[in-house]
Amino acid sequence: GKLLLGMDGVWHSGLAVHGYEYWYGGHVWHCRSGRTPFGAPDASIVLGRTLWSRAGVLAGLRAELLPRFTIEGYDVLSLNCNDFCDALSMLLLSRHIPSDIRCQAERAMRSSLFTLLRPWAK
Within a domain: residue 119? no
| Entry pTM | 0.83
Res. 5: pLDDT tops 80: no
Task: Decide if 16 is inside a domain.
Answer: yes
pLDDT band at 1 (very low <50, low <70, confident <90, very high): very low
For residues 79 and 75, what is the distance between their CA atoms, to the nearest angstrom?
5
Q: What's the pLDDT at 4?
A: 46
Least confident of 7-16, 17-26, 79-88, 103-112: 103-112
Is 70 domain-assigned? yes
Structural domain including 14 reads 2-114
Domain assignment of residue 120, yes or no? no
Is residue 86 assigned to a domain? yes
pLDDT for position 39 = 84
What is the pLDDT, as a whole number, of residue 101?
87
Give the chain's domain count: 1
Instruction: Specify if 122 maps to a domain.
Output: no
CATH number, domain of 102, equals 3.90.1720.30
Amino acid present at 71:
I
59, part of any domain? yes
Residues 6+ apart with CB under 8 A from 114: 5, 77, 108, 121
Q: Is residue 9 part of a domain?
A: yes
Q: Are 15 and 88 in contact (CB under 8 A)?
A: yes
Three-state DSSP state, 31: strand
Question: How confident is the model over 30-80, as pLDDT tens digits?
Answer: 999 988 888 888 889 999 999 999 999 999 999 999 999 999 999 888 899
